[in-house]
Structure 1
Amino acid sequence: MATEIKAPVFPESVADGTIATWHKQPGEAVSRDEVICDIETDKVVLEVVAPADGTIAQIIKNEGDTVLSNEVIAQFEEGAVSGAAQTQAVQSEEKVEQAAAKTEAGAAPVVERAQPVADQAPAVRKALTETGINAADVQGTGRGGRITKEDVANHQAKPAAAPLTAAVGERIEKRVPMTRLRKRVAERLLAATQETAMLTTFNEVNMKPIMEMRKQYKDAFEKRHGARLGFMSFFVKAATEALKRYPAVNASIDGEDIVYHGYYDIGVAVSSDRGLVVPVLRDTDRMNYAEVENGIRDYAYKARDGKLGIEDMTGGTFTITNGGTFGSLLSTPILNTPQTAILGMHKIQERPMAVNGQVEILPMMYLALSYDHRLIDGKEAVGFLVTIKELLEEPAKLILDL
C-alpha cells in the first residue's frame, strides 16, 4: 500500500525549504526511522525518516526543489522490497563479508567503485559538473556505490597528490550556489546594517584573574561536573548580570514598541560548515557554570554534525560572539536583529600595561559592544561594557553576586 511521505511541519518563522539530499532512491530497501532525505531551511537542516520498513516507490520532489510545510515529497511502499533491492542488499552484505575476510588476512579491503555519473542523483551530477571531478575518482558511500553530495565535497577537500598547475595567464574560477542558510544569514546581516542605528563601543579586560582561577580549579571542576572550564561561561554569567542592571540592552524593538524581556536567553555564535548559527542558552540567570559549559559544548557538537533544531536557535535576547577563536584581535560585530546588542570577544594578547605606576605584561582582551542607538544610549552601552569588564577582572564579585 502506497503511503505519502511529507515534508515536516515548519515553524511560522520558516516559509519553505529545499530538498538538499535524497539518501535513498526508488526501489531501494529502507528500514523504519532510517533517514531518507534532508531538507534545508533558512535556519537548519531537517531530516525526513522512513515511516516503516519498505521501499521508496516514487520521488516527487527532486534535489534542489522548493517544498512547503507538510507538502508531499515522495510515495512510499510499506513492506514492499523489490527484487532488485533484495539482490542489491545481498550483494552489499557479501562485499562487506569479503572485505572483512581480506582485512583479517592482511589484504587491503575491497573498495566498491562508484557508479557512472549518469546513474547518480541530479544534485550529485550537478556537483560533479561544477567541480570538474570525475565520478570514477570518487568513492561512493551510498547504497550500491552511489555517490552522495557529501562524497563529492569530501573528495574535493582532500589534498591533491601533486599541486595543480594552470597554464600561463589562465585565471581559474569556480561558481557554486549559496546554501539557503548562508543566504538567510547574508540577508539578516545586511538588514541589520541598513535598518538599525548600529554603533560600537570598545573596552579592554585584564584576563589574568580569570586565567589564574581557571588554572587553579579546572581539574577539580572537570572531575566534579564532567565539563571543561572555559572562558565562555564567565562571559555568559557576567553578561547576564550586566543585562539585569541595564534592561534596555536585553530588550528588542517590535515595530514602534519596545519589548523588555524579563528573562535572559543568550545566543552563542557558532561557526559551522553551512554558515554562522546562533543557538540559544535559555534562562542563563538560573544556570551554573557547568550547565553553561555543557550547553555550549553540546551546541558545538550539534552544529558540527548539522543536528541543530529550529527550537535551538529560536528567540534569544542577547548574543555573544568570539572572534578570538580564529585569532581576531579587534572587530565590530553586527547585530543579531531584533536584538539590540551583541558582545564581541577577541584574542587574548599579552601587552605592557601601566599598573600602579609600574609596567606589567598582562593578558588583555579587547571587548566590543555593538548596539542599536535607537534604543540604547551611549551612557548605557558604555556602562554595560564597563560592568562586564569589572566583573571579569574581579570574578569574586561575579560569584558572590556583588
Structure 2
Amino acid sequence: MTEELLLANAMLVLPDETALGCVRIAGQTIADINLGAAIPAGAIDCAGDFVSPGLIELHTDNLERHIQPRPKVDWPHVAAIIAHDAELASTGITTVFDAMRVGSIPSGAGRYQKYARGLSRELWALRKQDALRISHFLHLRAEVCSETLSEELNEFDAGDRVGIVSLMDHTPGQRQFRDMLKFEAYLKGKYAMDDGTFMRHVAQLKDLRERNGERHEREAVAAAHRFGAVLASHDDTTEHQVCVSAKHGIRLAEFPTTLEAAQACHSHGIKVMMGAPNLIRGGSHSGNVAAQTLAGTGHLDILSSDYVPSALLLSAVMLGRMWGDMSRGMKTVTQTPALAAGLNDRGSLQTGMRADLIRFRMREDVPALSAVWSRGRRVS
C-alpha cells in the first residue's frame, strides 16, 4: 500500500500566498492540499510552522569544499559526497546542481587539475545504490580560459544528468575580478601565492583567453545543446556581455556584477541569480553589486547558497520580509529556480508535484528547520 503522511495546521507556502492548511503526501507525491485549521485523524500537528517546497540549489561550491577542505588536501571522495549530501539535506535543500569545473590548466601551478569526470562517476555510483538523500544534477562550469575544456566536455553525454552548463571566464581584469587588487588578495590569501607566482598566473590566464577563449565558448554552447542542459552566463558586467549571452541562448545569469548587467538580463528575458551570502552580508565580497540593490529594483529572481548551504533558507526569508511577501521570497529558492532549470515536477506546493518539503518556524527572525522530506521520505 502507498504510505501516506498528513501535515496539518501548517502555514503553507503556496505559489502566490501563505495560508493555514493541510498537505497530504501519498508515496512520493503531493496528493492533496486543503486550507483551514482542521487536523484530520492521524495527521501531524505542525502548530503553525511553515511548510514549504524543498529548496532548489542551482550553484554551489560545497562539494568541491568537501573534496578539498584545504589547498592540496584531497579528501576521500565517497566520504565527501555522502557528507555533502547530508549537509544539504540538513539545510532544507532537496535538489542540487553540483557545480564542477571543466577546463583545467595542467601546465599551471597545480590549482586547476581535471577532476569532474571522475567525481561525477563516483556521485552517480552512490545514486545508483540509493545512498543519497536528495536529488542531484550536474552543473558543469565551463572555464573558457583553460587548456583542456574541449576534451573534458567530450567526456560527458546526455545520460550524465548535466542540467546546467555555465560559461565561465576568469580572465584577470574583467567580470568578477575587474579590481586586480582584490583578485591578487583573493589568490594570495587562498593559495599562498608569492608575487612572482601571481604574476605568472595572470600572464598565463590572459594568454589562454587570447588563444582559446572564443573557440571554447562555441564548444561549451554546443555541448549544452548536446546534453539538453540550460545555458548560464557568469559574472556579466556590461550590457554588451549580456547581449553576447543572449545570442548564445543563455537563460540564466549567475551573479551579474553590476545593475547595468542585471537590467540588461531582464530586457532579454534572462533570469538573474545572486548569492545568498551577498544578501545576508549586505554586499559582495568582491566589491560587486549588492543583492539587496537588485532586490530593491526588481532585478533579482533566484538565490543560490554559493559557498554557505545554510544561507539559502535564511536569505529567502529575508527577501520575504523585505518585499512584505513570504511566498514571493520563498519562490526565489523553490519554484523559480526549478522552472529556470527545466524542472516542472517540483518547487511548488501543488497536487501532483514531487513530495519534496521542509518544515520550519521562526526563532528571532531566523528560520529553524525541524524536518525535511525528499520524495516523501524524511531525510533530515
Q: Which of the pair has more CA radius of gyration?
A: 1
TM-score by length of 2: 0.23
Whose relative contact order is higher, 1 or 2, with alpha carbons under 8 Å and at least 6 apart? 2
TM-score by length of 1: 0.22
